Amino acid sequence: MKLIKKGAEADIYTGTWKNSKSLFKIRKIKTYRNNSLDSKIRRQRTIKESQMLSQVKSFGIPSPLVHFVNLEKSMIVMQEIPGKPVHDLPESKIIVICKQIGKLVGLLHKNGVMHGDLTTSNFILFKNIIYMIDFGLSQNTIKPEDHAVDLRLIKEILNSAHAKIMESSWKNFLIGYKSVVGTPYQTKIVKLVSEIESRGRYAQVV
Amino acid sequence: MIGLGIESTAHTFSCAIIEKKGKKGKILSDVRKIFRPEAGQGIHPREASRHHIENSPIVLSECLSEANISVKDLDIISYAAGPGLGPCLRVGAVVARSLSSFYKIPIYPVNHAIGHIELGKLLTGANDPLVLLVSGGHTMLLSFLNKQWRVFGETLDITLGQLLDQFGRSIGFASPCGKNIEELASTSTNYVSLPYSVKGNDVSFSGLLSATKPISEKSKVDACYSLQETAFAMISETVERALSFTSKKELMIVGGVAANKRLSEMLKDVCKRHGAKFFVVPLKYAGDCGSQICWTGLLESQVKKSASLKDTFVTQSWRLDSVIVNY
């Protein structure tokens, strides 16, 4: 096995599983965290992620195939998607892709799931298909507030990491999102996003 | 260039004098008086502002004599114009305006939160850090891009400082309670399970606060320990996410809670994992102080004209990500 990325939550290795090239995602022990809290978090997220990776496929969302799960090691063995994270693509491309991302998020929400960590690093472009990954913080929820938290996060990421293309990408994201969830729900969620933002510290009170 | 900075956003009234030569700044004096509410109570804005009014002449003259500077030597005066408690902010602004108009010294309104970051950069030497600002007023993860500090993650409700203070007050401490809680926490290793709420890069502490209170009825030390472990683990996780996402090679913590050793210890571990350099603002300058205002004012004066008196307002709500930074 070869280490290819030290992510925030897990280390990612490549290796072979039953003769096919695969990814090994291992949530290593975090020594800074209290032991029992740490094992609880790693266990819960490994379970959630492996379940969700399979579940979202039935919604029509491309995601890596899960080969094997080892809870003792908090390890998921999955199909490798050898593409590029949307985060690293040229800005002009990100703007266009945001529409597709919006659609995928719409599909997720329509089926009562929130992703919990919607960043541009968690979408991978491979052979013109966008794959959604990293479901460790996902939840089954139909609460509009939870869906709004998802949208707020991607908006925050666009605003910080992709500040120059924020407006056009956010607009495209919403077009894609609306095409799946419909105008009334989209309007409702966008309103909730502003509500969450206005709760922020020192937000301008209108 | 010599500047005077006046800080009065919350419980601290402070004046500081810094001499700026090129990119270097030397703190000549930093005098503060901190309003201490009774045990179990929080900062009452009116009471705190009275405290500031009574102490402002003492702090100002001590600050000048310690630096061995007379008012006439000052090149600029800066004051914290927000965000903060209205009545408290006004005290600092009045002192700044009076000096400015009587002695004809240029005046600069400064964002308090930017002050924490700029002073942190001056004192630690961090160059392009991911910034964790943790205090009573802020809990934010920031990085600088395209003339503005961009927010990567923040609290969706109360701040880390508020979490510690409000819990501390519920068990009878006086604000600020961070130090008391840290001391109690260090005597326990019994972790009680508490709600852990990370939403992407954002955190939420209000549920954690409510859940910790009943635990303190059984054991105060376990409650303090578990509260710190849970809250700091949440922060550390978001820091880790942001480090990984931004690929920054430096982390700097500033703000009052930066004084907490357990938090530093955890974040050091995070930095080690990600090969990032760890910077923490020196203990003495972690909390609110005049230096943070003074230094930011000096930086602003390089690129901006001073404010005219009629524009020297205070703003209770003034987000730091709305400030354009040109220096």
Distance set, CA A99 to CA A11, A102, A172, B244, B301 (Å): 30, 5, 5, 25, 44
Q: Is B143 on the interface with A (CB under 8 A)?
A: yes
CA distance A47 to A57: 16
Q: At residue B291, does pLDDT exceed 90? A: yes
pLDDT tens digits, B295-319:
999 999 999 999 999 999 999 999 9
Domain that holds residue B12: 2-116+286-322
Instruction: Note whether B90 and B148 are same-domain residues.
Output: no
Contact A31 B241 (CB under 8 A): no
pLDDT tens digits, A124-161:
999 999 999 999 999 999 999 999 999 999 999 999 89
Instruction: Note whether B278 and B254 are same-domain residues.
Output: yes
For testing contact with chain B, the best of A160, A193, A194, A196 (most B CBs within 10 A):
A160
CATH architecture under which domain A84-198 falls? Orthogonal Bundle (1.10)
Residue of A nearest to B319 (CA): A202
The first and second tokens of residue B49, run together, are 């502002």
Instruction: Note whether B192 and B67 are same-domain residues.
Output: no
The first and second tokens of residue B64, run together, are 């000048």
pLDDT tens digits, A93-122:
999 999 999 999 999 999 999 999 999 999
Please answer whether residues B152 and B235 qualify as being in contact, where contact means their C-beta atoms are separated by less than 8 angstroms: no
The number of domains in chain B is: 2
Contact B245 A161 (CB under 8 A): yes
Residue A204: band (very low, low, confident or very high) from pLDDT cuts 50, 70, 90: low
Q: Terminus-to-terminus CA distance in chain B, angstroms? A: 16
Residues of chain B contacting A119 with CB distance shorter than 8 Å = 200-201, 245
pLDDT tens digits, B255-289:
999 999 999 999 999 999 999 999 999 999 999 99
Q: What is the mean pLDDT of chain B?
A: 96
Could you give the ipTM of this predicted complex?
A: 0.88
Residue of A nearest to B142 (CA): A160
Task: Give pLDDT, residue B178.
Answer: 94
Residue B231 CB: number of other CB atoms within 10 A? 26
Q: Is B265 on the interface with A (CB under 8 A)?
A: yes
In a domain, B122, yes or no: no
Closest residue by Cα to residue B311 from B130, B109, B34? B109
The class of domain A2-79 in CATH terms is alpha beta
Percent of chain B residues topping a pLDDT of 70: 100
A38, A88, A117, A150: which one is catalytic?
A117
- Catalytic: A150? no
Q: What is the mean pLDDT of chain A?
A: 94
CA distance A136 to A50: 8
Count of CA atoms in the C-beta half-sphere (13 A) of B82 = 18
Q: Is B198 on the interface with A (CB under 8 A)?
A: yes
Q: Domains of chain A: which residue ranges?
A: 2-79, 84-198
Contact A33 B153 (CB under 8 A): no
pTM: 0.93
Residue of A nearest to B154 (CA): A200
In a domain, B121, yes or no: no
